[in-house]
Structure formats: C-alpha cells, structure tokens
Structure 1
C-alpha cells in the first residue's frame, strides 16, 4: 500500500467505515533496507554480495 492508499484507508476508518467492509490490498513491492551502523553494533558482518541486493543502505 502506498502512502496515498494508506491515507485513504485512515480517512475511511475515521469516518466510520467498518474494517470488514474495506478491501484488502496486497503490497506489490518490497524494499530491503539495512542499517550498517546497527548491524556493526550488533556484531554482524554484512557481505558485499548481500549489500549488492539491498535497495537502501543507511550508514
């Protein structure tokens, strides 16, 4: 669900829509994000091949 769909859901719920009447939306995209600072603090070693697969690296 993108941000605009989430906002639409919240609006409908706040206006009294019943949750069981709202359609279910499945995500169409997943993002893999890694925080290297936290990984290092946890003692995890991140391989270059894994880093090549991530969508976003937080340092």
Structure 2
C-alpha cells in the first residue's frame, strides 16, 4: 500500500512541476527543444494553447 501511495505522490509532484510554467504567465510563448535521435525539433506553444512543431531533421527521411 505504501508503494502505491509513494508512486501517487511522485506522479502528482511530477505533473505539478511540469505544468507550473504554464500557470505563471498565460501571455507568453513557450519553446521546448527536442532531441529525437534523427534530428532536433522545436515545439512552440502559443498563448492560445496552439502547438507549432518545427522540424530540424535531416531532409525528408521521415
């Protein structure tokens, strides 16, 4: 039982930590830089919660 309680607290903490920047200033753009193995990409989140993915991978391989 304590194993599940610890896991639950950990998951809630991780979720709260990852969502905290989005709660601070709703009028900002957010940039996430992703390394996906075959190339890099940038995920842009707008203030209206639209996502723009910019692919920086090599050519049209994927």
- If the length of structure 2 is used for normalisation, what is the TM-score? 0.23
Between structure 1 and structure 2, the one with the greater Rg is 1
Q: Per residue, is there more strand in 1 or in 2?
A: 2
The structure with higher relative contact order (CA 8 Å, sep 6+) is 1
Q: Per residue, is there more helix in 1 or in 2?
A: 1
